Amino acid sequence: MERIISEVGIVEVSSSNSEFLTNIKKDTSIQSASKELQAYLEADPDDKIEFTPGTPNGEKVTLDANANSYWEKQWDMQNLTHNGDFYNINKGNHKTVVAVIDTGIDFSHPDLKANADLAGSKTFVPGTTDAWDKNGHGTHVAGSIAANGKVKGVGPELTVRAYRVFGATGS
């Protein structure tokens, strides 16, 4: 037995026997059995993706490390929140927890640390012991949801909890 995920009733096993899966499927006490599938954030994890931050019209964005806020560069949040008017209606609250099912969260990120729930987070990636982000994608997603620092998310008072299902390579 490789591992047990009792919360959802899963047992992971491995075998070198080529007939193992066929034989295990005959056991009527087992609801489902299949080979492990790999999922990736990208179509191919070996592809090199070139990304240059910028605005929709391709202008380069230069961020000032000494700035108090990057709001003027956040065209996406300006549009989503009607130039911040939405925050006057509801910023969210820490009792509301949003699950980020991704690569984890950087719990020390200055824009997220007040809203990220490390204790309630969990990893489901074999060979890992915590939900810390080693890729960056999950932290980006969590920031879009609940950043509350120089960058603002859609709910800057929401709590985010990581459920890490992708490893450092995005698989």
Query: What is the per-residue pLDDT for 48?
Result: 52
User: Model pTM?
Assistant: 0.69
Average pLDDT over residues 105-109: 95
pLDDT in tens, 22-75: 999 999 988 888 887 777 776 554 555 444 444 445 555 566 777 888 898 888
Query: What is the per-residue pLDDT for 102?
Result: 95
Q: Residue 101: which pLDDT band, with cuts at 50, 70 and 90? A: very high
Query: What is the per-residue pLDDT for 4?
Result: 84
DSSP string computed for the chain: --EEEGGGTEEE---S-TTHHHHHTT-TT-S---------SSS-TTSPPP---B-TT--B----TT-S--GGG-HHHHHHTTTTHHHHH----TTSEEEEEES-B-TT-TTTTTTB-TTT-EE-STT--S-B-SSSHHHHHHHHHH-BSSSB-S-TT-EEEEEE-S-TT--
Average pLDDT over residues 122-150: 94
Return the domain boundaries, the chain. Answer: 71-164
Query: What is the per-residue pLDDT for 53?
Result: 44
